[in-house]
Structure 1
Amino acid sequence: MLDDLDRRILRQWQAEPSLTVPEIAERAGLSAAQVSRRIARIQDTGVIEAVETVIDWAALGYEVEVSLRVTLDKTVARAFDEFIAEARKVPEVLEIQTFLGRVDVRLSLIARDMPDYQRVYRDRILTLPHIADIEALMQVARIKTQEGLPI
């Protein structure tokens, strides 16, 4: 699917997403036209889903990050769908993941401080439908965040 030149382009772009096409071309030893065509083809195949901005939430005043492990009431036929639909509406929820096992859903959320977290938890999280059990894990430190792949 990807050849060595495609991988070279992706390595450069992944390492420094702000690079322009001419800068990637220079670093990859290709022409800008070649890089542009290859990037378009890679995007068309779905290998590159999006180019996005990563925001440092702490720099914006969000000091608390919590992972909530939620077990849903599985006696309700549409518990997953209804819970997820409502959880998507909570602006402080950054990520929703579903699992097989004792824990059904994990919500990653942010808050400005502990009083803000308590408000979000009481007013927005505990009002979500079909919660049978919930466990909060307060993040102490982020040791590694890796979005890139070893290409």
Structure 2
Amino acid sequence: MLDDLDRRILRQYQADPEAGTAELAERCGATSATVWRRLERMREGGILKGVEAVIDWQALGYAVEVSLRVTLDKTVARAYDDFLIAARMVPEVLEIQTFLGRVDVRLSVIARDLAHYQVLYRDRILTLPHIADIETLMHIARVKSEEALPL
């Protein structure tokens, strides 16, 4: 379980993942050695899974984001497995989520423009296996996008 110091370290690390151990220690009111040991323990415990680069796909020329709600043909035994394997092969699919309920899978897809999306949809998405129904939701605005946890 995390104690107060662990939470302070995580809050500061979340706010500035490029900060060094000494800087984190100063912000948290602890020694560098203590912060280093705590971070190592959290890495070993699977709490910290790594540091990643966040790339702005819009800055790379992708202007369209679409969510696709997919219902699969559940009469096919391997429908989920086959669909997920094939969907992972589409580079423009950024995220795949599975659900219980009427919608089985949600895909988050990006495209350079609507013409690119139309080709992508027709040639790559609609050819994914075992689709029974698909609903397209065009993103208009991102109102909130928060990666930080409430620690």
> Which TM-score band (shorter chain)?
over 0.9
User: Distance in 2 between the 1:123 and 1:21 partners?
Assistant: 49
User: Distance in 1 between the 2:126 and 2:91 partners?
Assistant: 15
Cα RMSD over matched residues? 0.8
User: Distance in 2 between the 1:50 and 1:136 partners?
Assistant: 33
How many residues end up aligned between the 2 structures? 151
**Is there any run of 5+ residues in structure 2 with no aligned partner, and where?**
none
**Once the 2 structures are TM-superposed, how far is the Cα of residue 50 of structure 1 from its aligned partner?**
2.3
Q: Which residue of 1 aligns with 2:49?
A: 49
**Once the 2 structures are TM-superposed, how far is the Cα of residue 145 of structure 1 from its aligned partner?**
0.7
Moved over 2 A (4+): none
Q: Which residue of 1 aligns with 2:66?
A: 66
TM-score calculated relative to the size of structure 2: 0.97
The AA in structure 2 aligned to 1:45 is G
TM-score calculated relative to the size of structure 1: 0.97
The AA in structure 1 aligned to 2:18 is S
The AA in structure 1 aligned to 2:85 is A
* 3-state secondary structure, aligned to 1:132: strand
Q: Which residue of 2 aligns with 1:145?
A: 145
**Is there any run of 5+ residues in structure 1 with no aligned partner, and where?**
none
Determine what percentage of the aligned residue pairs are the same residue.
69
User: Distance in 1 between the 2:144 and 2:29 partners?
Assistant: 31
* 3-state secondary structure, aligned to 2:58: helix
* 3-state secondary structure, aligned to 1:117: helix
User: Distance in 1 between the 2:135 and 2:20 partners?
Assistant: 44
Matched, 1:92 2:95: no
TM-superposition CA deviations, 1:24-49 (whole Å, max 9, x none): 11111112111111000011111112
Q: Which residue of 2 aligns with 1:76?
A: 76
